[in-house]
Every structure is written in structure tokens, then in C-alpha cells.
A and B are shown apart, each in its own frame.
Chain A
């Protein structure tokens, strides 16, 4: 099974071709250029370098959100166009879950943090558990489902695990909230290093493969990002209506 994976949910743009347990190619950049200008040229480069016949792709795994609204849509629209042209399904992979998958097999609590602006972060909590059998792989357990919250809220959840717990942080929100994390976290913690602390399409593909086996997939036509947030206009309209009802 060959998967083409994309992640343009944050500052990083990443594309990968993964077949079973082999990453055939991966291209990740973390640069100011817009994803609209980078994502498809990167994919084209992967295709040329690996002499890839796109018709051999079985599915497209996409970091389906949360993340930058525009970034998510560039990735999703690209995946939808590919899915339409190649007639293959899309595997929507939760962005924060895919970030956590960077730290596969880690026995600590994993806390990805993405800057969500408006004083919030996109985050979640994850743990890996070894399956039964000496050679069994690890299953990722979602302890706290991906959400848009105040950094203090997720810090509180982590502190509730007690002082025996260790937590590993990763994601582009770490640099933004480092001071806050240091101030709030009462358990042992550390920050993941450069090799595994940002979005990577190979992680989206690897977790996508697991999800695919569980039957998680959709047609390219119905796929849309999971924003975890309403648009500002919808939010303000809902708030207005709520205050009217209260009066």
C-alpha cells in the first residue's frame, strides 16, 4: 500500500511518499514562503526524484486539522484535486495526533502544542502502549483529544497526572509558549529536539496507514478540514444571539 501524505497545517510544509514501513521520499521545509508556492513544487520534486508513477498511489493522507485555516485548505484542496484526478480516497489524519506520532514508542506523556493565535493553542495529550506479544508494535492512546484551549488549561491537565509523570512537548507553539510552559508545569518536562518536533508528512502517512486499516477514509469529494473553530463572523453571530436569548 502506497500513501502520498501532505501536511501544510502550520509553518511547515511537508510532503512524503510512504510504502508500508518505508519512507520512499520526504520533503519538509520550514520557511516563510507560502504553502501555495511550495507544496506542489515539492511534490513534483518527489515525483521526479523517485520516478513515481502517481497511478500507483493507493490513498492520500492529509493533516486534516486543526491548524492555520488557509494552510489547511491549501493542503486539503491539493489532496482533493489529487483524489479527484487519481480516483483514490483521502485519509483525514488529525494534525495534533500526527504531531504526537513523531515520538512513537516514547513512554512519557506527549503534548504537542501548536500556536492557535488569540491566546490559544491547538493541543492534546497522548501515550504509547505496547501491544500484547514480544514483537508487538505500540498503539497510540489519545488521553486528551485535540482541542483549541488556553495553555493554562492543558498545563493543568498535565499537572493533574501528579509529580511522577514526565511530559515531552513538541510543536511550533513551544517557541511561542516556552516561558508559560516553564512557569505553569509542575511535573518533569522536556522539549523534543529538531529532528522530531515539527509536522512531518511521513508521520501523517504512518499514522494514516494505521487509520486506513481501521477503515478511516473518505472520498475526495466529501473531504474538508476539521478547523476545531468557527469563523470569526459565525462566532460573533452566535455570541450576539446568545446574549439576546439571555436578556
Chain B
């Protein structure tokens, strides 16, 4: 009898402001998950500065990879394949990971697998939920993305809806700045909202005409800014916690409504969330409640796998590897790569 060999993926992620590397065994067992965050650096500028992010990535990339191997207690030689995020994201940032991954693949003669960043976020759900298998519906919400996706099979997706303007996380950042909470907005609003009344201010729940599943958050953001302005003009004291909580509720209501409509229409009994905003405690609680009411299994990654990380790229890379996906040495960073495209 032939003993089935373990498949070890060395995964690299550098699409935004985290330099990350991970070793993942057989797609679901994370042997190491190293993340070097630049968040403090970018806080000085109120958001991610692409050139600074790229410079930091190049300084950190080898240390992060070496640490991932060391913590996993494997040598580069024992690795089966190299997976790397090649889009979407900041092109200069992506290029650091892509170039390093290609060089490592070339020098070790191990297969190279370019992975879609969103596919990584979705696959983060496989890490802690060993029983979760496609098909299911998944909402990906982060600083750069808001996608409602049907995961038809491993590596096969149908995009039901996406944001027509700002990503959900982007709206959090902008509103946080407007009410003086600073960057990063998501976690700050999440925390601050707990002190406010989510029903205090009736901010709009935006619908996109002609589309059941698309999102739009720029109108909501403007409504918040207008509210703040008009209060100031009228000399009304602003309760910032109420603003934060009411804004957050408006975002969550739309995300929950669209997601559950999709789950119902497609008849899924499983639903997952992913991406940085999936760490938001109120968003989780809302889905927990609503999915519970409908007898739908609700999945979400732990916060460490919600933020940008390489373990999720390793999980996605594993399934791509099994499917036979291989990238060439001409693999390029594609900043606006669409999910399901290669």
C-alpha cells in the first residue's frame, strides 16, 4: 500500500500592508502563520501609502518566510509547492511577494501557484472548519473588497454581487476619520459602537437599482458626513458613539439582508463570511442570530485568519495545487484581478 504523502504549501502574501508567510499542511492544517503588520507606520498617514508599504515588504519578506519555515519546523526542501497572492491588491506591494515566490520556486524547482487574494479569504474558512465543503455562499468584506460569492467548488466561484463604489471597510475608515477615531476605522468603530445607540440616527440602507446583490456604501458615507455637518451648523452636540453605532448598523443591515436573500434564493444551508471586516463583532452577532433563525450553518474564521494572512493563501493554494493549477515564471502582479479569472 502506498502511503499518501503530505502536501506542504509555503504561502506568501503581500497585497496590502501585511507581509505574511505560512506553511499549510494538506490545505487545512496551519503549521505556521507569520504576519508582519505595518499598520502603525501607515497610521501616521491616515491610510496605507503604497510606496511605503512596498518598501516595508521588501525589508521584511525574507525574515517572514524564514520564520514561517522555522516555526513549522520544515525545511524549504520538504515543501511541495509555493503559493503566492498575485492580485488583487497594490501592484508594488504584490510584486514583492510575487518576485520572491517566483525566485524561490525557480531555485528549488518546486511548482509555483498564483492565488487570488479573495479566494484566500474565502478559503480561510476551511482552516478551522474541517467539515466545511463547497457549495456554500460567502460574503467577503474587507478594506478593499465587498463581494457576495457562491463557492460552487474548490476554486470555482460565481460572483453574485459586489460594491459599486466604496468597500465596506473603506466606508468604516472614512467614517472613523470623520468622527475623529482615526485609522484603522473598522476595529475602532466596532469598539466605540458598543457605547452608542444603533437606532439613534436613521442612516439610509442603500439599494442598487436593478441588482439584488450589489452594494453601495458611498451614499451612506455621505449621509454620515452630511449629518455631522448639519449638526455642526445647527450647533447640535454630536453623540459620536451614536453616529458610529448607527452607521455600523446601516452597513450590517445591508450586508445581512443581501447575504440571506442569496442563501435563500440558491437554497444553501451553509453560509460563511471572510475578510478583515468579518472580525467585526456586531456583524458576526447579526449573522449568528439571523442564520440561527433560519437553521443555516454559519461559518467565520478567527480574527487572525480574517486579517490579511498567508495561511489562507496556503489553504487556497492547496486546492489549486490539487486541481493542477501551475503558474509560470512570467507570473505578474495583477492589481484588479477578478475572482475566478486567471
Using CB atoms and an 8 Å cutoff, list the residues of chain A in contact with chain B.
Answer: 34, 36-41, 43-44, 54, 69-70, 73-74, 76-86, 220-221, 224-225, 227, 231-234, 237
Contact = CB atoms under 8 A, between A and B. Distances in A.
B101 A80 contact: no
Contacts, number: 109
A79 B51 contact: no
A70 B52 contact: no
B61 interface: yes
B7 interface: no
A233 B66 contact: no
B66 A76 contact: no
B104 A85 contact: yes
Given A54-B107, A73-B96, A231-B52, A85 B76 contact: yes
A227 B92 CA distance: 14
B51 A69 contact: yes
Nearest to B65: A84
B106 A233 contact: no
Nearest to A42: B329
Contacts of B107: 54, 81-82, 85-86
A233 B100 contact: no
Contacts of A80: 58, 61-62, 100, 103
A225 B103 contact: no
A69 B95 contact: no
Interface string B58-101: 11011101100000000010000000000000011001111111
B95 A79 contact: no
B102 to A, nearest CB: 5
B63 A221 contact: yes
Contact of B58 (A36, A38, A77, A85): A77
A79 B49 contact: no
Interface in B249-297: none
Contacts of B92: 69-70, 73
Nearest to B97: A77
Which of B54, B91, B103, B104 has the largest number of chain A CB atoms within 10 A? B103
A77 B61 CA distance: 8
Nearest to A37: B330
A224 B331 CA distance: 22
Interface string B16-53: 00000000000000000000000000001100010110
26 contacts: A36-B331, A36-B332, A36-B333, A40-B329, A69-B54, A70-B92, A73-B54, A74-B99, A76-B58, A77-B61, A77-B98, A78-B99, A79-B103, A80-B61, A81-B99, A82-B103, A84-B66, A84-B76, A85-B103, A85-B107, A86-B107, A224-B59, A225-B58, A232-B51, A233-B52, A237-B45
Q: Which has the most chain B C-beta neighbours within 10 Å: A39, A78, A79, A81?
A: A81
A43 B91 CA distance: 22
A134 B45 CA distance: 59
B90 to A, nearest CB: 11
B104 A84 contact: yes
Contacts of B212: none
B108 interface: yes
A44 B329 contact: yes
Nearest to B77: A85
Contacts of B330: 37-38, 40-41
A224 B54 CA distance: 11
What's the dominant secondary structure at chain A's contact region? helix
B58 A231 contact: no
A79 B99 CA distance: 9
Contacts of A76: 58
B192 to A, nearest CB: 27
B49 A231 contact: yes
Candidate in B44, B101, B329, B332 with the most chain A CB atoms within 10 angstroms: B329
Given A41-B330, A85-B104, A231-B51, A221 B66 contact: yes
Ordered nearest first, which 7 A-B pairs have the shortest CB separation?
Answer: A81-B103, A85-B107, A77-B99, A231-B51, A81-B100, A40-B329, A221-B62
Given A34-B332, A36-B332, A81-B107, A70 B58 contact: no
A76 to B, nearest CB: 6
Given A80-B61, A81-B107, A36 B99 contact: yes
B55 interface: yes
B328 to A, nearest CB: 8
Contacts of B54: 69-70, 73
Given A74-B99, A237-B45, A85 B108 contact: yes
B20 to A, nearest CB: 15
Nearest to A45: B329
A40 B102 contact: yes
A36 B95 contact: yes
Contact of B98 (A36, A41, A85): A36
